[in-house]
Chains A and B, each alone.
Chain A
Amino acid sequence: GAVVSQHPSWVICKSGTSVKIECRSLDFQATTMFWYRQFPKQSLMLMATSNEGSKATYEQGVEKDKFLINHASLTLSTLTVTSAHPEDSSFYICSACLFLSSYNEQFFGPGTRLTVL
């Protein structure tokens, strides 16, 4: 159990276009999902907390108008990178929170590798 999927797994786009990434919890409901970004050889950077039915909470320094998050259902959150530029090229990973125990464990999706030309 506790499987999280992401789509697409990789995407290449031209500068200025928008890219939507989907994150789904396949076998559990997730009221809270998280979006991370990871540059090569660096650690995970939390971008935002996505809460079902409410606005996302963005970390300091993350542009909310550039990285649009929609958590429309208990199993789906989407991240849209608007007007992408080469500096947005990165590995984007979502995680979903499983509220079954005191741990509230987070399970990660496989990630989406974005390359902006």
Chain B
Amino acid sequence: QKEVEQNSGPLSVPEGAIASLNCTYSDRGSQSFFWYRQYSGKSPELIMSIYSNGDKEDGRFTAQLNKASQYVSLLIRDSQPSDSATYLCAGRGYYGGATNKLIFGTGTLLAVQP
């Protein structure tokens, strides 16, 4: 059973629109969540970290966490073609105790149309 789930997409949005990426997780013990961006052929790049319920904003990016619903999201405002990539959601594993291992979703492919 997958512990972090994402819609594989592709999610297609027009340039300038808001892209909304969603992720659910099954491990209630997970405390920290991360969004990574991965361009084709490249390694993942950390975009946002969040561990408190609510919103966290950084530039055009807003991460949202709802622990009661076990739901994490990433909003990208004013989407640009350069945002086209696969976005990976990850939760910090909790195996009877906090660990540093990340559990990754399979990623959502975002395509921003010019």
Which residues of A are interface residues toward B (Cβ below 8 A)? 32, 34, 42-44, 46, 49, 91, 93, 97, 102-111
Contacts and interface: CB of A to CB of B under 8 A. Distances in A.
Secondary structure at the A interface, as helix, strand, loop or mixed, is strand
Interface of B: 31-32, 34, 36, 42-46, 49, 51, 88, 92, 100-102, 104-107
Chain B contact residues, majority secondary structure: strand
Contacts of B104: 43-44
B44 A102 contact: no
B43 A108 contact: yes
A96 to B, nearest CB: 10
Contacts of A107: 46
Contacts of A32: 100
Given A34-B101, A103-B32, A106-B102, A44 B51 contact: no
B46 A106 contact: yes
A43 B44 contact: no
A93 B100 CA distance: 16
